[in-house]
């Protein structure tokens, strides 16, 4: 592929209706007489840092699609069946084919950390884990001095439900289990 030449290919799943270019432009190449949108170049919208487009096809088929994903599907082979597309230069609106690569979630996260796109805390990386709430209030066991990163961790340490401990910490129950919010963890 010649680097400065714009090449057009069909959008996967919408062949004969839309085309995507190697520069990340999208155009509609056919329309029914009932459609209001005419044939021609389309303008994507920005949503959560990514350029997206709403595609419609015959038979009620539709899709909200990220432009970078459409470019990758059309132009970049994916023999390892990697699920995500990474922006090599970290600019999420730069959807040129030479700026994109297929990646695993791990590849994408490591790339984000290496390029400063993920925040650091306390000198270490923040590992995003859906089972942990990193905004959770820190808890102190007043009897043992043990500190916990969340109500869940504190409740698990003594075998109680996090709901019961949460109610105790808020003062909405008469029972005190010897835990308090820690302000210096």
Which helix H or strand E contains 101, and what residues bound it? strand 100-103
Tokens representing 125?
């990386």
107 and 171 both lie in a single domain: no
157 within domain boundaries? yes
Q: Is residue 130 part of a domain?
A: no
Task: Note whether 87 and 165 are same-domain residues.
Answer: no
The total number of structural domains in the chain stands at 2
> Could you say which of 81, 114, 147 is where a domain stops?
114
Q: Same structural domain for residues 81 and 145?
A: no
The whole domain housing 58 covers 8-114
Residue 2 lies in a domain: no
Residues 65 and 55: beta-carbon distance below 8 Å: yes
Which of residues 179 and 99 earns the better pLDDT score? 99
CATH number at residue 37: 3.90.75.20
pLDDT tens column, 126-185: 444 444 445 567 788 888 888 887 888 888 888 888 888 888 888 887 777 888 887 644
pLDDT in tens, 45-95: 888 889 999 988 766 778 899 999 999 999 999 999 999 999 999 899 999
| Whole-angstrom distance, CA of residue 25 vs CA of residue 115 | 26
In a domain, 37, yes or no: yes
């Amino acid at each position: 592929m010649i680097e400065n030449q714009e090449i057009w290919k069909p959008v996967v799943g919408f062949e004969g209706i839309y085309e995507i270019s190697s520069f990340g432009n999208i155009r509609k190449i056919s329309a029914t007489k009932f459609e209001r949108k005419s044939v021609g170049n389309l303008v994507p919208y920005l949503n959560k840092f990514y350029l997206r487009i709403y595609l419609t096809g015959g038979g009620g088929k539709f899709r909200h699609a990220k432009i970078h994903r459409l470019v990758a599907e059309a132009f970049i082979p994916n023999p390892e069946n990697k699920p995500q597309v990474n922006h090599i230069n970290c600019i999420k609106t730069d959807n040129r084919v030479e700026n994109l690569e297929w990646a695993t979630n791990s590849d994408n996260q490591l790339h984000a950390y290496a390029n400063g796109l993920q925040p650091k805390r306390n000198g270490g990386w923040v590992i995003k884990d859906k089972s942990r709430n990193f905004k959770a209030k820190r808890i102190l066991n007043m009897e043992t001095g043990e500190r916990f990163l969340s109500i869940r961790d504190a409740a698990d340490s003594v075998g109680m439900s996090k709901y019961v401990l949460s109610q105790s910490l808020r003062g909405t129950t008469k029972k005190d289990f010897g835990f308090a919010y820690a302000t210096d963890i």
